[in-house]
Structure 1
């Protein structure tokens, strides 16, 4: 009798029939058994006994048998591997290793090494797909989406976040909140303010309608929607979202979310002229980010504090804060965010009399946002990409042109800014721009045209946000009776 023959009758050894409920033999299991057996120098008989026969091992390796759990556990022990590794092909402790790799990738992203983080997330994604670990893939895709946002690759970011939403489509709604927020931010950075609001409001309504009181998910979404509301001039709606988010904060479990909230709330306080309270809110966020070592978010706090100092005419501190923010963002190669800081810094430089430095900063910004032939989906591929800060750059260049008594150049920049901001729907910025443009036209003797521009500005100022946004999201169940007191900080005014 050769090694490939033997008797029947052992558990799980009769032909190709497996255990009850199985659908047929698995070729991959047999291939793994054969590879591991040969690597260890074992014969089929030595591997099989005493649980099964050499003939059965031969049948299994040929892909014509579906072994029982008992047989697989015996073979795994003889081969020196774990049962799961033999049954699925996944290396032992793979899930633990991938979760650790995710943590390391998130740490690299937090400390500013975006390229390293993206490589790590991509490696986790590839290994999870190769070994069929669907539970790990959404976290890796979320990380890749955040890396793409940092790098200004908005189309890639949207694609990654959409993939997460699809993978988690049958899971509870709070599991999708981070992906929806990420996709909304990508549209916001592309100048698509209305759509960003729509995405966030729709998800907030779904969560509240389902009665899913998940403080972290709701806090993430309410904090995220404040930015597009402010850019659209819907200040009352932004203040209401901030108030609801503040009510959620004590029950949140993630300190980073609380820090994001304080940073978002500061925007509503700035709009109300409450700069001291805004600075205090930013200081809270800054301390949390410093403790959590989130350098990208820390940079955004420096940026916003620079704006607050500028509003208070403390231009020295404003410039210092903005340059600190720019340096931190440059170390992360966060190009889109650098553009926004450059606009604020150029405004401060202009107010300090450094007109040439301000103009160089703005023209450099606009040159960097031009189309890249090698990357059709990259920055500049569509006029809406970065429309809000590109429009702000042209507005400032118009002011600089007026400062040097060049009304023709000023008009050209104002027209370009008007086009960009109209596409983005940035109502508050549009109203201010129309005032500047109307004043220029009036000074150059074109009174009728100036009146038309003023009327356009008044239209945006009269009802900011109401012509572009639907009904506000319903308040969460816990806040159904919460009175709207006019925005955050009411507790400080009481």
Structure 2
């Protein structure tokens, strides 16, 4: 392939263009003179069709008009309107992901990626990789998701940063789900600083990044930073037209409201998100709203309502074949069941998730580490309530190992307290003090010792 400097596209060589002109002219039943007039001669068309001259942009426009095609198709062989058709099919694949199974959507995205790559349509190829990343995220294939998001970013390397933000946010989310909270924060904060410093005030990109940063901030115990990100997201929302972005913002903001004890406001925010997701028919995100509403009800002491919401979320995610999200919900459901006195049922949910021989939906150090730690914590509590001290300690220590890797400060502090209390009751005072000190160390200044300076606020 050679670069056609007059047209700014990746054009074929003169021989390929000549053969293409000959084929199209013959198909239309035109003579060389009829194709050439009034601007060119039959001799020029003959020389061009023989591949001995490269047509100028002006000549390409003349030929395309006479042959009833496009300059792009003449220069590259790419069918007219191919990019438009690919974008329409990408929209269909997105709809499949929203309403059906990720595996089915992934088959469509893979075909579109290959077709776009053959046609050298970088933007459409990047969109297909972004879709494949979203599919892999939903099925819990986090390494595969990161690879697809990185491929999308690479294809858009020469584009302005706002165009790369959805892929960058996807990559950060895959690191978050793997338990790499600090790195997820680093990716998001670096992008925010670059956007704000460059003056690229793109409300959609900024809203996506601030909303995405709330979850890792909260998991790390950096509640003040999460609340600030939520405030900035709320301020940006009126400038954003995409209802899916606004719905995501409401869902993210609800988490900060829960942490502040503003339960009614959190529920109202989730209701707004839920309404938008219902209108958009995005079932995975709708399930996440039920998931979080279950958490809200549990925080408010409504355990029966919490169980109902969490079961709804789990069933929706299971029907979408989203295994990682499904088992994460099951951990929170198990917590509610234990608090309702259904310890045996809770244990029945949790134990298979952590078994070494469990299927691909299992939790572990590289896959849902925060929830894996939560599952061990709950099994420790159940064992302790049954008087099985050694078993409880084993689960607490397993949870500690998982959570220390993630940097989930609040969960770590709570776990160290549970372990310290257990050690103290069994007469191991020094070991208990060590556990308490570890917990206090994580609680001292959550987020401030593990994160750099907060990203600059955008000019509003």
Same fold, TM-score > 0.5, yes or no: yes
- TM-fit CA distance, 1:64: 3.4
Q: Which residue of 1 aligns with 2:313?
A: 325
- 1:140 and 1:20, CA in 2 relative to 1: closer, same or farther beyond 3 A? closer
CA distance in 2, matches of 1:30, 1:445: 89
22, 32, 36: which is aligned to 1:48?
Answer: 32
1:280 aligns to what? 268
- Aligned counterpart in structure 1 of residue 204 of structure 2, from 194, 216, 221: 216
> How far did 1:227 drift?
0.3
- Unaligned 5+ segments in structure 2 are none
* 8 Å CA contact 1:222, 1:245 repeated in 2: yes
1:195 aligns with 2:177: no
Q: 1:321 Cα shift? A: 0.4
Contact 1:194 1:468 in 2 (8 A): yes
By how many angstroms is 1:85 displaced? Answer: 2.2
* Partner of residue 414, structure 2: 432
Which residue in the other structure is 1:135 paired with? 123
* Distance in 1 between residues matched to 2:208 and 2:73, nearest whole Å: 38
How does 1:264-413 map onto structure 2 within 5 Å? 264-367=252-355, 383-413=365-395
The answer on whether the counterparts of 1:259 and 1:289 sit within 8 Å (CA) in structure 2 is yes
Query: Paired residue for 1:241, among 222, 229, 244?
Result: 229
Greater Cα radius of gyration, structure 1 or 2: 1
1:172 equivalent in alignment to 2:160 = yes
Question: Who is 1:484 aligned against?
Answer: none
**1:82 CA displacement:** 4.5
Structure having the higher helix fraction is 2
TM-score of the two chains, using structure 2 as the length reference: 0.90
TM-score (norm 1): 0.84
Please list the CA deviations of residues 244-298 of structure 1 after superposition, one character each: whole Å capped at 9, or x if unmatched: 1111112222221111111111111111222222111111111111122111111
1:20 and 1:190 mapped to 2: Cα distance? 48
Q: Which residue of 2 aligns with 1:418?
A: 400
Deviations 1:343-392 (A, max 9, x none): 110111111222222112111222389687xxxxx977x83332101000
Evaluate the alpha carbon distance shift between residue 194 and residue 370 of structure 1 in structure 2; reply closer, same or farther with a 3 A threshold. farther
* Contact kept in structure 2, 1:19 and 1:68, CA below 8 Å: no
User: What do residues 179-228 of structure 1 show as CA deviations (whole Å, max 9, x unaligned)?
Assistant: 21111101000100000011111111111111222211111111110100
For 1:404 and 1:63, how far apart are their aligned partners in 2? 85
**Hey, what does 1:4 align to over in structure 2?**
none
The residue aligned with 2:454 is 472
Name the CA distance, whole Å, in 2 between partners of 1:296 and 1:430.
Answer: 29
Task: Measure the CA separation in 1 of the matches of 2:321 and 2:19.
Answer: 46
Aligned residues between the structures: 451
Alignment RMSD: 2.7
Q: Distance in 1 between matches of 2:69 and 2:161?
A: 38
Kept after mapping to 2: 8 A contact 1:24/1:65:
no
Q: Any residues of structure 2 matched to 1:107-186 within 5 Å, and which? A: 107-186=95-174
Q: Is the 8 A contact 1:346 1:357 kept in 2?
A: yes
Deviates more, 1:386-395 or 1:68-77: 68-77
What do residues 96-138 of structure 1 show as CA deviations (whole Å, max 9, x unaligned)? 1111111111111221332232222222222221112223222
Alignment correspondent of 1:254: 242
Runs of 4+ in 1 over 4 A off after TM superposition: 18-25, 33-38, 52-62, 68-83, 368-372
Specify whether residues 187 and 20 from structure 1 end up closer, same or farther in structure 2 by C-alpha distance, changes over 3 A only: closer
Greater mean alpha carbon deviation, residues 419-428 or residues 21-30: 21-30
Tell me the secondary structure at the aligned position of residue 399 of structure 1: helix
SS at match of 2:455: coil
Residues 338 and 36 of structure 1: is their aligned pair in 2 closer, same or farther, counting only changes over 3 Å? Answer: same
Q: Within 5 Å, which residues of 2 pair with 1:58-97?
A: 60=48, 63-68=51-56, 81-97=69-85
